[in-house]
């Protein structure tokens, strides 16, 4: 994975903040602004969309487009909802990115609650939540608990 895609992942993570929702509504224009400001990586809009498509293809994130239907019959495009997958969260935790463990923990909590809002279970993990190995899930929870223990 190149530096630009890694920077985009970190930017998306930082745009999520400390919310309980496992997604962000950040626009591409804001992503470009943050990439240039924080990561000193000026890129064009088209390359940002290509990087997002590559990250979606790699299974790191999912994206759901949104539209608003106006009263006069027109349709206005809104910024997409972008969510990290379990694979993407694990990748960021392996790279020791700050806040990624909180993301992984919130995804695991979200999967247990069987929440029906966005993102859906198929968008977070490629397998259905019923097919997730309970032992593997427990190992992830134990890892998260060990990391959050005070020294």
Residue 47, SS3? helix
pLDDT tens, position by position, 31-55: 999 999 999 989 999 999 999 999 9
**Residues in Cβ contact with 34 at an 8 Å cutoff, skipping those fewer than 6 apart:** 11, 14, 15
What is the domain count for the chain?
1
Pair 15, 34: CB distance under 8 Å: yes
Question: Edge-to-edge, what's the strand order for the sheet holding 23-24?
Answer: 23-24, 75-84, 61-69
Alpha helix stretches (DSSP H) within the chain = 3-16, 28-38, 45-57, 86-94, 100-113, 121-124, 134-148
pTM for the full predicted model: 0.71
pLDDT tens, position by position, 3-13: 899 999 999 99
How far CA 96 is from CA of 93, 104, 117, 131, 147, in Å, comes to 5, 12, 29, 28, 11
pLDDT tens, position by position, 71-88: 888 888 888 889 898 899
Amino acid 23: pLDDT: 81
Domain containing residue 22: CATH number: 1.10.10.10
Alpha carbon 65 to its chain's center: 14
Domain boundaries, position 60: 3-148
Residues, the chain: 151
Q: Which residue has the higher pLDDT, 2 or 127?
A: 2
């Amino acid at each position: 994975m190149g530096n630009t895609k890694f920077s985009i992942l970190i930017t998306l993570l930082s745009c999520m903040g400390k919310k309980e929702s496992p997604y962000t509504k950040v626009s591409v224009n804001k992503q470009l602004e943050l990439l240039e400001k924080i990561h000193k990586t000026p890129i064009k809009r088209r390359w940002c969309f290509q990087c997002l498509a590559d990250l979606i293809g790699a299974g790191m994130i999912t994206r759901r487009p949104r539209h608003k239907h106006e009263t006069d019959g027109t349709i206005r495009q809104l910024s997409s909802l972008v969510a990290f997958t379990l694979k993407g969260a694990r990748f960021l935790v392996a790279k020791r990115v700050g806040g990624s463990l909180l993301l992984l923990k919130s995804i695991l909590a979200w999967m247990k609650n069987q929440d029906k809002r966005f993102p859906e279970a198929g968008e977070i993990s490629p397998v259905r939540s019923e097919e997730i190995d309970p032992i593997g899930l427990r190992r992830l929870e134990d890892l998260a608990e060990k990391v959050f223990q005070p020294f």
